[in-house]
Amino acid sequence: MYHFMCTSVLDGAGLDIDFFISSPSGQLLYSDQRKSDGVHTVETLEDGDYMFCFDNTFSSMSEKLVFFELILDNMDTDEDPDNWKEHVIGIDTLDMKLEDIMDTINNVKSRLGKSVQIQTLLRAFEARDRNIQESNFERVNFWSVVNLVVMMVVSAVQVYLVRSLFEDKRKIRT
């Protein structure tokens, strides 16, 4: 059986995180250092609890928002859950047509499941990009206000200096 792990850092300083997967016996199966996103495939050979860990110790001052999805693939299905073949009585061609229809339906179901997984991953990427965009928007607004204040101060100083050049400093009393 295969497990797929999709990860993506959505928000936080640096948008990177350490990630590892270990087997029930404690053997390290996969390790990734300071990555912002990735898809990891692991073949599970032994029964038990597998551990996956997100580690942010290298950046302990900032928190991270992480999206992850665990996808189970190649599940061994020895038994048909509906046992639909027991309920169908008919000739061989009818059985063959029903099997073809069931194969087509299962194929469509599998493809729809993969489409949903891809859409979920794309939503995570969109959320990460939106967080970056909002952060940039706040920075641009802040520095625009700072720039505006500096321009106002400079213009006030220039007006004062130009007026002081044309001021008559002599006091004439008549």
- pLDDT for 156 equals 96
Whether the CB-CB separation of 90 and 21 falls below 8 Å is answered with no
More confident residue, 18 or 60: 18
Average pLDDT over residues 30-43: 78
Question: Strand 28-35 and strand 17-22: pairing?
Answer: antiparallel
Q: Is the pLDDT of residue 146 over 70?
A: yes
The model's pLDDT over 57-84, given as tens digits with 9 standing for 90+, comes to: 887 777 777 877 777 765 555 555 555 5
Q: What is the residue-averaged pLDDT of the chain?
A: 78
Task: Return the residue matching tokens 């990860």.
Answer: 7
Residue type, 64: K
Helix (H) or strand (E) holding 153: helix 92-166
pTM of the full structure: 0.45
The residue to which tokens 């061989």 are assigned:
92
Q: SS3 of 71, please?
A: strand
pLDDT higher than threshold 60 for residue 91: no
**Res. 160 pLDDT band, cuts 50 70 90:** very high
Residue in the structure block whose two tokens are 């706040």 = 138
Residue-range domain boundaries for the chain: 1-75, 113-173
